[in-house]
Structure 1
Amino acid sequence: MNCMTLNIRCIGEEAKIKWVRKLKQVHKANFVGIQETQITNFERIDVNGCWGSLDFDFEGVNSSGDTILANIYGPHSLGEQKRLWHELSAIKEAKPGNWTIFGDFNVVRRAEERFNSNFCPASAKHFNKFIQETELQDLRMGGEIYTYMSRVGAKLSKIDRFLACSNFLSAFRSLAVTAHPRELSDHSPVTLISTSSDFGPPPFKLFNSWLLQEGFDYIVKKAWAEFHGYGNLDAYLAAKLRFLKNEIKVWKKKSDEKANQEILKIKSEVAGIEKAAESRLLSDQELEARN
């Protein structure tokens, strides 16, 4: 089972829907937990767009989840946090199973999980007590050091994570938790990958948007005119279409490489700024460039 958690504002924006769908597809996620505190009507979320197909089911809950796969958005105040830990402990005790609890807990476990951000020893103490008493394990995370970076002041913290019980770890022995770069959210998407599957190369698909890209008309006309074949009409047409498909694939690859170079350049600049924020305060110019 592959899981992903992401706290993201304005999930209704098309660019963010596409980003979630891309993350789900790239990491082959079987379960996606999204925390969006600004939306109370879950029907406003384009779940189909986020998932990328009709082969799914979903449920929306407010702030907590009564399920073996628990998607959490933790409160900020200490009192509400203690109440949540108590309720989760009771639910877990009443419902044995392969538990994994993940999401934005809005609390860290130790001081070094914050940078340029206030550490609350009491919140950490009660969070660690909850983890110990429920016999959960904080799965080791690779990738980004901090999973959250505030838009104002560049405050960093590791508040998104996966917690799993021993039953879950026994059922899924090969696990990898990774915090990925923050792109369209102030939180990192965090994935839990247990297996990898290879279904071979993806089938060729031609999208309407390609028709509007520079060079598409030219490559189609060029390939159609340059093809030389033989055989009966059916075989000739099939061979010509295969030739056209391969030429389009070559053109698309080059076109994507050019676009990706520009995207990677921007991402590299932003990543450099965020990496610098882990060891020093950012200048106003750097904060403006990041945003």
Structure 2
Amino acid sequence: MNFLSLKVRGIRSKGKAGWVKGLKSSHGVDFLAVQESKIMDPSVWLLPKCWGNSTFLFDCVNSDGIAGGLICWWDPSCFRQTGVIKSHHVLVISGDMVHSGFHVNIANVHAPNDAAGRRNFWNELLFYRRSLFGLRIFLGDFNLVRSIDERVNSDFLAQNALSFNSFIADADLFEYNMCGHKYTYMSSNGEKLSKLDRSLVCNDFMSNWPSAELTTLSRHLSDHCPLLLSIKNSDYGHIPFRFYDSWLQLPGFVDFVNSIANNFVFDGPADIALAADGQFVGQPLSGINDIKITHLIG
């Protein structure tokens, strides 16, 4: 599955629905989480404008006037919902990942702006972490940085960072290395930069997909970068075979290779033969001039 998170700052604003739809389509997104939608009761016409014509399901937390608002879309062929939890600052969608069978809880997060509100919010998230079974993903705008190097031209409050890091440790959450942009938020004048948006996962999630990729995409119609978490496995074919020059000095090595090549049998195009599991005939591999298989494969 591919997960996309974006603080959109008003989904009805000119061009934003089309932008979100373009991100979803171009990156093969299966689960889409939007923060600060600034709408109540998303209309039937708006939701497909953000997702496209393919089948989707959704759930949402309505905005408080023109503030806040959370929406999640997902592809039911990839994710089968079993439950939902809603509060003002988080929308938790629970369900099963169809292709892997794992049960996962996906929290669409928009943390409060004030420090006291965030501390209460961390406790709320810890409660969900302890009460829900299965894998966990927390993605969205956390409104805090973890260290001083995650801010440029804005105040760093060590106490706030300590509170945030304590929550992450208590919740047993981890971060993938982020590719793309270092900062996810930029002020309107371009002077202030911060890493406010994140995708945090539990240890079991990271153990199952250690090579997952987290990428910050270019901000376009928002002051926040979209975050793409991709856990789709890519198959690049056979692992390349390494050949060492020193092997050529092994007694009998060249004769051994020649004997294998001369007795290789394959019925098909020559280029396909290079990747095929050939049928070897002739002398057993372990009996040619005392060459051991380990000498060949390192």
Q: TM-score, normalised by structure 2?
A: 0.63
8 Å contact from structure 1 (residues 148, 188) kept in 2: yes
Distance 1:117 1:66, change over 3 A: same
The answer to which of 164-173 and 114-123 deviates more is 164-173
Q: 2:9 — aligned with what?
A: 9
The residue number in structure 1 matching 2:91 is 65
- Counterpart CA distance in 2 for 1:106 and 1:182 is 17
Map of 2:18 onto structure 1: 18
Match for 1:184: what amino acid?
L
Quote the Cα distance in structure 2 between the aligned partners of 1:123 and 1:143: 26
Distance 1:142 1:97 in 2: 27
Match of 1:151 among 159, 173, 188: 188
- Matched position secondary structure for 2:91: coil
The alignment partner of 2:39 has SS state of coil
- Separation in structure 1 between the aligned mates of residue 125 and residue 197 of structure 2, nearest angstrom: 17
Contact 1:12 1:44 in 2 (8 A): no
Structure 1 residue aligned with 2:228: 191
The alignment covers a number of residue pairs equal to 198
1:91-102 → structure 2 map (5 Å cutoff) = 91-102=128-139
SS, match of residue 127 in structure 1: helix
Alignment of 1:137-176 (within 5 A): 137-152=174-189, 154-176=191-213
Write out the 4+ residue segments of structure 1 that deviate beyond 4 Å after TM superposition: none
**SS of the residue 1:99 aligns to:** strand
> Which residues in structure 2 correspond to 1:236-255 (within 5 Å)?
none
C-alpha separation between the residues in 1 aligned to 2:114 and 2:45? 27
Secondary structure of 2:221's aligned partner:
coil
Instruction: Report the alpha carbon displacement of residue 39 of structure 1 after superposing the two structures with TM.
Output: 2.3
State the shift of 1:197 in Å: 7.1
CA distance in 1, matches of 2:224, 2:163: 23
Aligned partners of 1:190, 1:178: CA distance in 2, in Å? 6
Indicate yes or no: 2:74 matched with 1:74. no
CA contact (8 A) 1:147 1:160 kept: yes
AA paired with 1:7? K
Calculate the aligned-residue CA RMSD, in Å.
Answer: 1.9
Cross-structure match for 2:40? 40
User: 5+ unaligned residues in a row in structure 2: which ranges?
Assistant: 62-87, 94-104, 236-298
Equivalent residue for 1:123?
160
Q: Deviations over 1:201-245 (max 9, x none)?
A: xxxxxxxxxxxxxxxxxxxxxxxxxxxxxxxxxxxxxxxxxxxxx
Shift of 1:171: 3.1
Corresponding residue of 1:227: none
- Structure with max Cα Rg: 2
Deviation at 1:16, TM superposition (A): 1.3
The answer (yes or no) to whether the contact 2:10–2:37 under 8 Å persists in 1 is no
Residue by residue, what CA displacement relative to the aligned partner does 1:58-117 show, whole Å, maximum 9, x if unpaired? 110232123310010011111110111001101110112110100011100001100011
Where structure 1 has 5 or more consecutive residues not aligned to the other structure, the ranges are 199-291
Letter in structure 2 aligned against 1:56: F
